[in-house]
């Protein structure tokens, strides 16, 4: 009786671990100052832009591509006649 109980607990624990691993592989995080677009193997790049936060995608079919959208200062050297 006790052996069956512990065997069942082990099976449930294994199922929870596998489900947790699948859910964890389907999450991605978009940091502040970044945006993401989703590449789908069947439909190509989606038109929707994904903002900051944690989001879901379909593993093996979709892949998030994350871009940095923060503005950066630029130095433009200019040759002038004055100092």
Rounded to whole angstroms, how far apart are CA atoms 16 and 25?
14
Q: Are 9 and 31 in contact (CB under 8 A)?
A: no
> How many domains, in total, are found in the chain?
1
pLDDT number for residue 82:
65
Q: Is residue 80 part of a domain?
A: no
Q: Is residue 24 part of a domain?
A: yes
Which helix H or strand E contains 45, and what residues bound it? strand 44-50
Does residue 67 or residue 3 have the better pLDDT? 67
Q: Which of 60, 61, 30, 68 is nearest to 46 (CA)?
A: 61
Q: Is residue 14 part of a domain?
A: yes
Q: Which domain range does residue 32 map to?
A: 2-68
Q: What is the pLDDT of residues 16-73, one digit of tens each?
A: 999 999 888 999 999 999 999 999 999 999 999 999 999 999 989 999 999 999 988 8
Q: Is residue 73 part of a domain?
A: no
Q: Is residue 40 part of a domain?
A: yes
Q: Are 39 and 63 in contact (CB under 8 A)?
A: yes
Give the list of residues 6+ apart from residue 52 with CB closer than 8 angstroms, or none: 30, 31, 32, 34
Q: Is residue 74 part of a domain?
A: no
pLDDT number for residue 81:
63
pLDDT category of residue 75 using cuts at 50, 70 and 90: confident
Q: Is residue 82 part of a domain?
A: no
């Amino acid at each position: 009786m006790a052996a069956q109980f512990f065997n069942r607990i082990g099976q449930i624990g294994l199922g929870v671990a596998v489900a947790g691993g699948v859910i964890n592989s389907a999450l991605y995080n978009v940091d502040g100052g970044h945006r993401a677009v989703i590449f789908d193997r069947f439909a190509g790049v989606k038109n929707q832009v994904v903002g900051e936060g944690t989001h879901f995608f379909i593993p093996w079919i979709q892949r998030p591509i994350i871009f940095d959208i923060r503005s950066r200062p630029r130095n433009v050297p200019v040759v002038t006649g004055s100092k």
